[in-house]
Amino acid sequence: MRSATVSFALAALVAAPATAEVTATSGQSFAVHGEATVAAGPADAWIDLTDPAGWWSSQHSWSGDAANLTLFPVAGGCFCEQLPASGGSVEHMRVIHAVPERTLRMTGALGPLQAEALTGTLTIALEPAGTGTKISWDYVVSGYARFDLAAIAPTVDGVVSEQLGRLADRLGRQP
């Protein structure tokens, strides 16, 4: 878990979408929000969104290789990772709501948050924007942790914002 926490801290230094921000905090909860507008239409954005191996950072995977990530965008579907070196696997999040080309909502505590008694909900919304798509991410985390969640919120924001930025770059980020 220590190396995952270090990865979270290092990711905070990476450039993120301009609108990324921590929107709410308390000692045992936080919410972060990010937005990006891309050249791709909602259909193409959905296809890439549901293929995290193509845009998720390998630095923020348990196996060290984003190629091991899969996402099945149906209720009950898994955003999972195979761990070839050990023969194991990781469930990062579980899909609870999927409307192709519009909404993907998943629950799960990402990275080192997974070791705590936390619930996280990530809602990704796709909205037509001219000939492209506006992508909005909202990640809300609450529960019991052995550390102050408000203190780690900016770091988590940096990590999830990096992933949004990588997806936006793949889809042709627009200003």
Question: What integer pLDDT is reported at residue 19 of this predicted model?
Answer: 66
**d(Cα 147, Cα 126) in Å, to the nearest integer?**
33
CA distance 3 to 156: 14
Task: For 46-101, write each residue's pLDDT tens digit.
Answer: 999 999 999 999 999 999 999 999 999 999 999 999 999 999 999 999 999 999 99
pTM metric for this prediction:
0.89
User: CB-based contacts of 18: which residues, under 8 Å, 6+ apart?
Assistant: none
CATH says 2-174 is which class? Answer: alpha beta
